[in-house]
Structure 1
């Protein structure tokens, strides 16, 4: 699998709006029609549209072939649009982040169906990282300092770091919407951008996913140290329209669970290239798996309104 960290460093989290579909013969999944006779697969705007289409083309193609139902890939304008699509029935399945999924479940706009596996595990780690030569020895040392974060809706790059800061006794104010009332100055961008800001001494620390802090050997980059870490965040799920029947949901879940490795290799069909998907398998999951994420969302008093920000 190619390095997601390397891609993020060069591409950032840019994206364009728009929709397009995979062509194919219209058919039915058994006796299920999925509303308009096709399965609408929605992608969250976490990376550039063309890049994500290249990644997911064989994934959607496999789902189409196995179900006999046209699969349409859609690129959402924002995370709120993902939940709106699921809640309104214009999307049947979506890939999204843990917090967006948690907020969708809270708002009855999504049902968790699958958990993704990557980099050898089903969960991952959020970190608050600083430079070894800094004066930051604990989270309380960040009072009055500038802290970089990833996108405000990122689990590992914003929400868990804020949770760690709050648990340490710092006031987070209106974060992640803004840093008003917070004991620190917050700057939200992306994982790569936040870590680069730390590298360039523009922030005293960065709250990011651990993956962005590692070198090519998988070790923490030279010159840096973790102030705090939070392990065990369940990796990003796939969610479905809550109005799908159990048969419709289970057919999708079982099909993707049994998918061959090749569908993760991207449009070029070759492993370990730039268009590989960042994950390599999925397993059935439900609300229980993501209860820790929902707990943090509640602790930070977050709602789906957060997804309309930015």
Structure 2
């Protein structure tokens, strides 16, 4: 495949959202704020739809309570590209998405990075290539000629970093993540849950996913082992539509920045249960926060062309 152009250089302050320190029930923009009186909150498909709807319900309810004259509607996107298309077209106003997808969105004028999320005691997280303990795979080179399931093609932990690890191990990744043409392995791309499920069901030899999808109550789920891990990826951002006014952006960002603990507990309203949100805090962020992800994408020769694939 012809090497794609390097898609992002020095980040600077591009793609940031200014914060004015406003609080309380704010953002009265007339009879039709946010275009139609509804703030569309879009979720990336990192886990099954029903589960994510339960996770994000209190978050959406809280956001609605902080915005005057507007309701909040949760949407579940088919993939990361659909998130960016929604933000860029004005059919979505705010979204949770992955680091690489957000960087692509900024480059393509489809998103502004606003916040970074915090979880499990850290502002960063881990990508893994995982296999079953009963396999003969001990190193990444053992995957030559094998099959690997990845998350969405624009997922940082579920596509970008696994491909980077495979390339560094000496395997050809060919045209990945657009296709597995020219790669030393067979590949499929779906979501984190679907990729790990394919491994669980014996349909593939390994999965390249975010570590979070492989975890049970006591760490890595029984019957699986990591072939390779990559730590230190900046945790996923919250992004807003560039079509929003600065006042509308500030209203959303400040509301989410000041969200109480009760917004993170899921639909059952109880802390420590299965439908809790995976993150517990946010802080202001910009494109520079995700420069490490951009650097890896540049090394792989990836660009905003990915937004037009699928």
Same fold (TM over 0.5): yes
Identify unmatched segments of 5+ residues in structure 2: 1-24
1:82-111 Cα distance to aligned partner (Å, 9 max, x none):
222222223221111222212101111111
Query: Per-residue deviation at 1:129?
Result: 2.5
| 8 Å CA contact 1:60, 1:71 repeated in 2 | no
Pair 1:37–1:195, CA change in 2 (3 A): closer
1:161-206 Cα distance to aligned partner (Å, 9 max, x none):
0111112222111112221110112233443444454455543333
Question: What is the match of residue 12 of structure 1?
Answer: none
* Aligned residues: CA RMSD: 2.7
| 8 Å CA contact 1:143, 1:184 repeated in 2 | yes
Query: Per-residue deviation at 1:222?
Result: 5.1
Structure 2: distance between partners of 1:290 and 1:229: 19
Question: What is the match of residue 23 of structure 1?
Answer: none
Question: What is the match of residue 108 of structure 2?
Answer: 107
Structure 2: distance between partners of 1:267 and 1:116: 20
Provide the secondary structure at the position in 1 that maps to 2:92: coil
1:5-61 Cα distance to aligned partner (Å, 9 max, x none):
xxxxxxxxxxxxxxxxxxxxxx97145733444433222344444433333222122
Structure 2: distance between partners of 1:179 and 1:78: 19
Pair 1:85–1:30, CA change in 2 (3 A): same
| 8 Å CA contact 1:149, 1:208 repeated in 2 | yes
| 8 Å CA contact 1:130, 1:206 repeated in 2 | yes
Question: What is the match of residue 170 of structure 1?
Answer: 171
| 8 Å CA contact 1:148, 1:203 repeated in 2 | yes
Number of aligned residues:
283
Q: Which has the higher contact order (CA 8 A, sep 6+)?
A: 2
Query: Per-residue deviation at 1:134?
Result: 4.7
| 8 Å CA contact 2:173, 2:182 repeated in 1 | yes
Provide the secondary structure at the position in 2 that maps to 1:166: helix
Pair 1:134–1:275, CA change in 2 (3 A): closer
Question: What is the match of residue 27 of structure 2?
Answer: 29
Question: What is the match of residue 9 of structure 2?
Answer: none
> Which has the higher mean CA deviation after the structures are superposed, 84-93 or 257-266?
84-93
Question: What is the match of residue 298 of structure 1?
Answer: 298
1:203-256 Cα distance to aligned partner (Å, 9 max, x none):
3333222233334212x4455443321111122211011243444322222211
Question: What is the match of residue 253 of structure 1?
Answer: 253
Identify unmatched segments of 5+ residues in structure 1: 1-26
Question: What is the match of residue 268 of structure 1?
Answer: 268
Does residue 118 of structure 1 match 2:116? no
| 8 Å CA contact 2:46, 2:191 repeated in 1 | no
Provide the secondary structure at the position in 2 that maps to 1:148: strand
Pair 1:69–1:131, CA change in 2 (3 A): same
| 8 Å CA contact 1:103, 1:297 repeated in 2 | no
